[in-house]
């Protein structure tokens, strides 16, 4: 592998990692607060992408006069809102009744919600199982730096992911709601005694996590302009792996895990594409063997 190819693959990996990281954040936030692996999270991404698709198609049939950047920003808002709403809806209807029930029942419910969203969207006559071309909200422009090809969408993916992560870090570390989130994730009962509205905090987490999934949805749809009801499954699985790799429940861990997994997957594929996916999982298992709590996860001491 020469140097140009090395850097080209690094860029490819960063782009893929940015999307993984955004999805992984949602997994990790929900896990951190209610210890639930929300398998439906990847489908919130799909809902976000479809919301933008219908919104953009609607706008584009009305007028072509709006500059693309405005459509993109409006689309991003639609994606954030759609993702947040579907996440909170799932929380309210499916997860809340199981809050104090066995943890794994909620997990199976999450698998059910995930299946339901996929099959329901695929069965709706106006959506259907087919692949749809996602309109070019922003025309990608390619440019070459030292033999390495870059394009605007790639930079947008990485840039927006970083901006959203900074925003999230700010919310978690500097606001009252963030403090409440950290308190609830440490000890629900103690948080309640301190006067924190636990349910409201959980709702807030689902709203933020869902919005991040929506953002990942619009980014995925723009980068890989093909959307369909099952589009979230594979990236969702990878992002979940990334969240565990970074240490599930740990927000910086999800970011690091996402980028690392993206880069590892690209280099593994580049080494041998036939076994690429298997190699990525093997790397993951090796990392977890050395650090069973994930890269940034805290070692849990045994409670006796």
Partner 1 sequence: MKNLWRNLPTLRFLIYAIALYILLMVLSSGGILNDYIMIIINICLIYVILATSLNLINGITGLFSVGHMGFAAVGAYVAGTFTTLVWKLPNDGSVTTTLLFIGALLLGGIGAAIVGFLIGMPALRMKGDYLAIVTLGFGEIIRTIVNNIDAVGGPRGLLGIPELSSFTIIFVATVVTVLILRYLVYSSHGRAMISVREDATAADLVGINTTKYKVWSFIIGAFFAGIGGGLLAHLIQLAHPTQYGFYASFLVLIVVYIGGVGSITGSILAAFVLTILEKYLLPMVLQWAGLGVEWRMVIYSLLLIIVMIYRPEGLMPREAKFMIPEDH
Partner 2 sequence: MRTARVLLIFALITGLVFFGVSCGGSTTSPTPTSSPSPTTSSPSPTPPAKDIIIGVVAPLTGDSATFGKSTQEGAELATAEWNAKGGINGSQIVLKIADDKSDPTEGAAGITRLIEQDKIVGEIGTVQSKVSLAIAPILQAKKIPMISPTSTNEKVTLVGDFIFRACFIDNFQGVVGAAFAYDNLKVTKAACLFDVGNDYTKGLAENFRDAFTKLGGTIVGFEAHPTGATDFNAQLTKIIAAGPELIYISDYYNDVGLICKQARALGYTGFFLGGDGWDSADLVKIGGDAVEGGFFTNHFSKDDTRPEVQAFVKDYTAKFGAPPDALAALAYDAANLMFDAISRAKSTDGTAIRDALKVANFKAVSGTIKFDANRNPIKAAVIIEIKGGQQTYKATVQP
Quote the Cα angle for 143-147-151, to 5°: 25
Residue of 234, 240, 231, 208 whose CA lies nearest to 50:
231
Give 114: exposed, middle or buried? Use CB within 10 Å, 0-12, 13-18, 19+. buried
Tell which one of 123, 142, 173, 175 touches partner 1 (CB under 8 A). 123
Q: Check residue 270 for interaction with partner 1 (CB under 8 A).
A: no
Q: What character string, x for contact with partner 2 (CB under 8 A) and - otherwise, covers 211-240?
A: ---------x--xxxx-x-xx-xxx-----
Q: Does 119 bind partner 1 (CB under 8 A)?
A: yes
Residue 57 in the binding site for partner 2 (CB under 8 A): no
- Answer yes or no whether residue 302 interacts with partner 1 by CB under 8 A: yes
Nearer to partner 1, 118 or 157 (CB): 118
What character string, x for contact with partner 2 (CB under 8 A) and - otherwise, covers 91-130? ----------------------------x--xx----xxx
Site size toward partner 1, by CB under 8 A: 45
Torsion of CA 27, 29, 31, 32, to 10 degrees: 150
- What are the tokens at 185? 């994730």
What residues have CB less than 8 Å from 69, skipping those under 6 apart?
A: 138
Interface pick for partner 1 out of 1, 60, 108, 141 (rule CB under 8 A): 108
How far apart, in whole angstroms, are the C-alpha atoms of residue 76 and residue 219?
A: 9
From 145, 117, 138, 160, select the one nearest 69 (Cα to Cα): 138
Q: Which residues bind partner 2 (CB under 8 A)?
A: 2, 4-5, 8-9, 12-13, 15-16, 119, 122-123, 128-133, 136, 140, 142, 144, 149, 151, 220, 223-226, 228, 230-231, 233-235, 265-267, 269-270, 273-274, 276-277
């Amino acid at each position: 592998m020469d140097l140009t190819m090395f850097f080209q693959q690094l860029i490819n990996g960063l782009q893929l990692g940015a999307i993984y990281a955004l999805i992984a954040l949602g997994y990790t936030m929900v896990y951190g607060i209610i210890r639930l692996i929300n398998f439906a999270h990847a489908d919130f991404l799909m809902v976000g992408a479809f919301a933008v698709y219908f919104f953009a198609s609607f706008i584009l049939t009305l007028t072509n006069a709006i500059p693309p950047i405005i459509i993109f920003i409006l689309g991003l808002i639609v994606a954030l809102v759609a993702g947040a709403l579907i996440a909170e809806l799932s929380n309210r209807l499916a997860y809340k009744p199981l809050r104090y029930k066995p943890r794994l029942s909620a997990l199976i419910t999450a698998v059910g919600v995930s299946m339901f969203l996929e099959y329901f969207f695929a069965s709706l006559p106006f959506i259907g199982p087919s692949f749809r071309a996602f309109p070019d909200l922003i025309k990608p422009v390619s440019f070459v730096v030292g033999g390495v090809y870059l394009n605007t969408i790639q930079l947008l993916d990485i840039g927006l992911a970083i901006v959203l992560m900074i925003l999230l870090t700010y919310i978690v570390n500097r606001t009252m709601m963030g403090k409440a989130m950290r308190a609830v994730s440490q000890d629900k009962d103690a948080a309640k005694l301190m006067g924190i509205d636990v349910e409201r905090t959980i709702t807030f987490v689902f709203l933020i996590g869902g919005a991040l999934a929506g953002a990942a949805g619009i980014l995925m749809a723009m980068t890989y302009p093909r959307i369909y009801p099952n589009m979230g499954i594979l990236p969702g699985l990878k992002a979940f792996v990334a969240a565990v790799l970074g240490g599930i429940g740990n927000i910086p861990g999800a970011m690091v895990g996402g980028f690392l997994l993206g880069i590892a997957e690209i280099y593994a594929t580049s080494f041998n594409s036939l076994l690429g996916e298997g190699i990525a999982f093997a790397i993951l298992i090796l990392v977890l063997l050395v650090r069973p709590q994930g890269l940034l996860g805290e070692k849990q001491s045994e409670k006796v």
